[in-house]
Amino acid sequence: MDWQPHITVATVIEDDGRFLFVDEFKAGRMVLNQPAGHLEAKESLREAALRETLEETGWEVELTGLLGIYLYTAPSNGVTYQRVCFSARPVRHDPARELDSDISGITWLTRDELAAQPERWRSELVLRCVDDYLAGIRGSLELVRD
């Protein structure tokens, strides 16, 4: 059997108790997710996180830490994803920037507002990453080697 995990990045961005999420269309429904996406060839994990955040939200951010490395197997297709999740702070927003085609918009939510909508999560990693952030779990960016 040919098994290969998909490497993805995600970014938890917090500003004054609210977190930045994307509304995206996946598997026939609108879901909430952190800005996230696949690592591209010849790209570092940090570069991928910054790029995906900008492309999906119009926000430039500063990465502040490594939040965690998560394994998730999607029940819908059996694909295993390795998610490298960063924490970040917002720097500058370009509201005129065109977002990725599968993104319908962005929203800022508190942890409780997110938790109240489990049917909208892209996966359980959406809340788990926020909870890990709120628990103070952070590694130095020096742990991420290019």
Residue 89: the pLDDT is 98
What CATH number corresponds to the domain at position 14? 3.90.79.10
For residue 77, is pLDDT > 90?
Answer: no
Pairing of strands 80-93, 6-15: parallel
Rounded mean pLDDT of 116-141?
96
Which amino acid belongs to residue 72?
A: Y
* Close Cβ partners of 121 (under 8 Å, ≥ 6 residues apart): 31, 32, 33, 114, 127
CB atoms inside a 10 Å sphere around CB 91: 10
For residue 137, being part of any structural domain is answered with yes
Instruction: Identify the pLDDT of residue 1.
Output: 58
For residue 93, tell me if it sits in a domain: yes
Give the range of the structural domain holding residue 97, as residue numbers without chain letter.
Answer: 6-143
Write down the pLDDT at residue 94: 96
Task: Give residue 111's pLDDT.
Answer: 98
Q: In total, how many domains does the chain have?
A: 1
Mean pLDDT of the chain: 94
Residue 1 lies in a domain: no
Could you give the residue ranges of the DSSP H alpha helices within 16-145? Answer: 45-57, 111-115, 125-134
